[in-house]
Chain A
Amino acid sequence: MSPAPQWTYLQDRACWFLWFPDGGTPAPPAPGLPSTRATTTLAVPDGDTVAPREVEGAEVPLLAGWDWLGTRRAAPGDSGSLAGWTLLARDPTRSANPLPVAAHCAPTPDGEHVRTAAATLDEVLGVLALLRDLRNHGFAGSLRGYQLAGVRWLAGRERGALLADDMGLGKTVQALALMANHPGEAHLVVCPTSVTPNWRREAARYTPDLRVLRDGEEPRPGTLTVVSYARLRRTPHPFTGCRWGIVVCDEAQQVKNPRTLAHRAVAGLDARYRLVMTGTPVENDLGDLWALVHLATPGFLGTRRRFHDRYVVPIQHRGSPSAAARLASRTREFVLRRTKAEVAPELPARQTVDVPCPLSEEQRQLYQTALDETFTDGLGTGRGRRASVLALLTRLKQICNHPAQALGQRGPLAERSGKFDRLGEMLDETLRSGTGCLVFTQYTSMGRLLVEHLGQRGVTVPFLHGGLSSDARDRIASSFQGGRGPGVLVLSLRAAGFGLTLTRASTVIHYDHWWNPAVEDQASDRAHRIGQVRPVTIYTLRTAGTLEDHIATIHDRKRGLADAITAGEEAELLALSDDQLRDVLALRPGAAP
């Protein structure tokens, strides 16, 4: 029989880490107990001292591990840490703590301490209680270990916190879990217009007991109000007059400037707890860090001037290690930031995220007019009907992309399309975090608008499309792959959907949906293929309440079927009667911004 591994609790990941002092990865301790290979830093014996070292092992989720520990008996072959945790899982209240240091040897962020056995047990019991509360309060999500650790950490802050995890790590679900655990309060999410549909959808999915209010409804305990920064800025009154439980400021980098009306409107909200969220790396700009922490916990870092004198000048002008160390230790109290790389073992190698976006008023009018005109004029019959339907579909998709695309304009581009604005926010995050990103669109005209827009903001991004010679395409691809340029590449879906290796990117964004999901999947494979060592996140933007919902439904249905039978594309819609077709294409309530 193989020796039993050590069981160490990792607080930052809310999981068990199983490892051998002499190396090697332990097998799952029991059939059915989930276990993932991982590497982590533990403080372990090193000659006459105990020092941090990278250790290979396997992660086991907290609850599954605890349940398993509680059903077994300590055996003679157990390691001290396994025996200790086994005793505690059977009787957590026992007076003598049986844990050896190996059971709690994950170093603290300063790398110089470990938590005591008693503090580690308290932490384990605290997280288990949190899980129980979430279940009792109807939270319907399943949190990954680092997310659970995040919610526990957030709940431990008194007045507020800054959550700055990388894009794609699930900040929204952590915020919703935090709110779910306070069902006796009215909560508020303030975010850019482009993300409001996403909040509504995620809340309905993860916190069904938290009622998402419609416009104009009175906030009451157990409800969630979602409002855009623009709306709050225009009409702050109904929101400033309430006492909120948790106020979430999402994409908070947009309101970091304290001189703006939006910032002041957010700062003026009466909240028990403020959760400020951003996916941009805050540590790169100390001014931003101050502004965002100030929004979460006013006064914590002192006035901006004092912060500048005490931290910014010493750190940036004279490289003061003492000021940097003090700032790091202070911000650890209020800022939680995990990168994709840090939590990679817990992420699926490839995950797809649906991103619903709102329709702007201009888009709504154009969309409605296009539908009305086509159906009033009639679709015709036979080949003529087919052409009319295809023209209408193209028109509607272009309107969803951007009115400028549909109208053949070159600008202006901002605040006219929900998807376009959302993409801008997502690209801000990827540009600042330096992870490569591919943006696919099926329309060359849309690709050009994107590239021009980025160019106006000082970011020169190449556009890989079918009109280029194969040499030019190869040059763009190898330059991107070689790490040159800003790390964003815009590609035409058809021209770049195969052959290329673009594994520098760990983020893929589909700006629009093609009818056939296999084409999109093939394009996503440019990033997710052999040689890719990081998890890849694939975002598909969708204008909620429009034809794009329907295409997404087709995708869901078709995925998993063999490629041969997924070639239907628009054929399904052509087979519908006029009335049925109009029904499918009509705007739905989800189109509300």
Chain B
Amino acid sequence: MTREFGCTAWGKAWLRRLEPLASGGPDPDRVRARGLARRAVREFRVQGTQVSAVLGERGREHVITLTVPPWTPDEIRTARRRLRSTAGPSGTLPEDLPDELAAELEAAGPRIAPDPGELTASTPSGPPRRAHLLAVCYALVQRVDEEPALAVRLRMAGAQDVPTPPAPTSPSLIPLAELDPRLFYDPPPPG
């Protein structure tokens, strides 16, 4: 049976920060957040260290943006050393990372996920409600489960020489957006 949240070690690392063992009894915000993550989170996007999503609840839409704090330069160096064996020949990181690597990485220092309190969270009208913030975090846990390398990218964004998955475009492709309709039928200029 696959766990709904945290079925990989990488997603679980995030989940542990959301649900620390020492947190005591049931937390109504967390229960609500899980339900919202299941049915109310849309347009989930990750850009650099920013995670954004639209949360629709009771007929209202909330645009929520989280900023994940990056690792320190020391932590990035440690992480890069640990990841070297997994990265491809050109330093690219595969989408999936072994679960053992997550344990190794945390043992060596860098924490895969920050505490929710370390996240900078905002909506256009000010700070989000806690349940909404947690809902986006739960959705992020699922996204990390789908693509464990995302957990690493979120913490290394901004650093130089980041091992990333291969770029979606290869040099033999041109995005349609870069084509000029006025020059479509004309041969390229010489040279």
Contacts and interface: CB of A to CB of B under 8 A. Distances in A.
Contact of B95 (A96, A115, A326): A326
B190 A114 contact: no
B interface, over-half SS: loop
A45 interface: yes
Interface string A242-263: 0000000000000000000000
A142 interface: no
Contact of A100 (B145, B188, B191): B188
B125 interface: no
Interface stretch (B18-26, B70-78, B179-187): B179-187
B187 A48 contact: no
Contact of A309 (B8, B177, B183, B187): B8
Given A81-B185, A310-B145, A326-B146, A50 B2 contact: no
Contacts of B175: 112-113
A47 B183 CA distance: 13
Contact of A112 (B143, B176, B186): B176
A416 interface: no
B174 A116 contact: yes
A160 interface: no
Contacts of B145: 309-310, 314
Nearest to B11: A309
A323 interface: yes
Contact of A313 (B2, B168, B172, B187): B2
Contacts of B181: 45-50
Contacts of A320: 142, 146
Interface residues of A, number: 49
A351 interface: no
Contacts of B146: 310-311, 314, 320, 322-323, 326
A99 interface: yes
Contacts of A79: 185
Contact of B142 (A6, A52, A314): A314
Interface of A: 6, 21, 43-52, 79-81, 83-84, 96-102, 105, 107-108, 112-119, 302, 306, 308-311, 313-314, 318, 320, 322-323, 326, 329
Interface of B: 2, 7-8, 38, 44, 95-96, 142-143, 145-147, 168-169, 171-177, 179-188, 190-191
15 contacts: A44-B184, A52-B176, A79-B185, A80-B187, A81-B185, A100-B186, A101-B183, A101-B184, A114-B179, A306-B8, A310-B96, A310-B147, A314-B146, A322-B143, A326-B95
